[in-house]
Amino acid sequence: MQSVYVAGVAITKFGKDPRTLSEIFCDAARSALGNAESPEVDAIYIGTMNPEEFTGDSNIASLIADAIGLGGVPAVRIETASSAGAAALMAGFQAIASGYYRRVLVLAGEKMTHLSTSATTRILAEVIDRRERQCGATMPALAAMITEKYRQKFRLSESRLQNILCQVALKNHANGARNPMAQFQRAITREAYFASKFVATPLRLYDCSPITDGAAGVILTSEKTDVHLAGVGQGTGPLGLQDRDTFTSFAATKIAAARAYRMAETSPQAIDFAEVHDAFTPFEIINSEDLGFFPPGKAGEAVLDGKTALDGKLPINPSGGLKARGHPVGASGLAQVVEVVKRLRGAGVSKREFKRGLTQSIGGLAANNFVTILQRADAPVVQNLWPPNGAPIARPQKVSAAPAREIEEGIIETFTILYVTPDGFLPPLALALIRALDGRLVMAQGEDETELKIGQEVFLRRVDGVWLFTVKSQLQKVQEAFMKLFQRKAVATAKDNRSGEPK
Q: Which residues bind its own copies (CB under 8 A)?
A: 1-2, 43, 49-50, 52-53, 56-63, 65-66, 69-81, 87, 90-91, 93-95, 97-100, 123, 126-128, 232, 234-240, 243, 251-252, 255-256, 363-364, 367-368, 394-396, 398, 401
CB 373, min distance to its own copies, A: 14
Cβ proximity of 277 and 362 under 8 Å: yes
463: Cβ contacts below 8 Å, ≥ 6 apart: none
CB 359, min distance to its own copies, A: 16
What is d(CA 187, CA 182) in angstroms, rounded to the nearest whole number? 12
CB 406, min distance to its own copies, A: 24
CB 151, min distance to its own copies, A: 26
Cβ proximity of 458 and 472 under 8 Å: yes
Nearer to its own copies, 70 or 344 (CB): 70
CA dihedral 200, 202, 204, 208 (to 10 degrees): -80
Residue 306 has a CB neighbour count (10 Å cut-off) of 13
CB 188, min distance to its own copies, A: 31
b/e per residue 267-297 (b: at least 16 CB within 10 A):
bbebbbbbbbbbbbbbbbbbbbbbbbbbeeb
Nearer to its own copies, 232 or 443 (CB): 232
CB 368, min distance to its own copies, A: 4
Nearer to its own copies, 215 or 417 (CB): 215
Q: Crossing angle of helices 84-97/332-344, nearest 10°?
A: 60
What is d(CA 339, CA 9) in angstroms, rounded to the nearest whole number? 9
Question: Is 131 buried (19+), middle (13-18) or exposed (0-12) by CB count in 10 A?
Answer: buried
Nearer to its own copies, 93 or 415 (CB): 93
318: Cβ contacts below 8 Å, ≥ 6 apart: 175, 273, 275, 310, 339, 343, 348
Cis status, amide bond into 74, omega within 30 of 0: no
Nearer to its own copies, 26 or 436 (CB): 26
Beta strands 214-221; 356-361: pairing state:
unpaired
CB 1, min distance to its own copies, A: 5
495: Cβ contacts below 8 Å, ≥ 6 apart: none
Nearer to its own copies, 167 or 361 (CB): 361
3-class SS at 104? strand
What is d(CA 220, CA 4) in angstroms, rounded to the nearest whole number? 7
CB 464, min distance to its own copies, A: 18
CB 395, min distance to its own copies, A: 3
Cβ proximity of 170 and 188 under 8 Å: yes
Nearer to its own copies, 313 or 398 (CB): 398
What is d(CA 370, CA 290) in angstroms, rounded to the nearest whole number? 12
Nearer to its own copies, 233 or 318 (CB): 233
Backbone angles phi, psi at 73, to 5 degrees: -70, 130
CB 57, min distance to its own copies, A: 8
CB 396, min distance to its own copies, A: 5
Nearer to its own copies, 28 or 139 (CB): 139
CB 301, min distance to its own copies, A: 30
Nearer to its own copies, 49 or 216 (CB): 49
Question: Is 457 buried (19+), middle (13-18) or exposed (0-12) by CB count in 10 A?
Answer: middle
Nearer to its own copies, 110 or 449 (CB): 110
Beta strands 409-418; 457-463: pairing state:
antiparallel
Nearer to its own copies, 1 or 483 (CB): 1
What is d(CA 67, CA 49) in angstroms, rounded to the nearest whole number? 19
Question: Is 389 buried (19+), middle (13-18) or exposed (0-12) by CB count in 10 A?
Answer: exposed
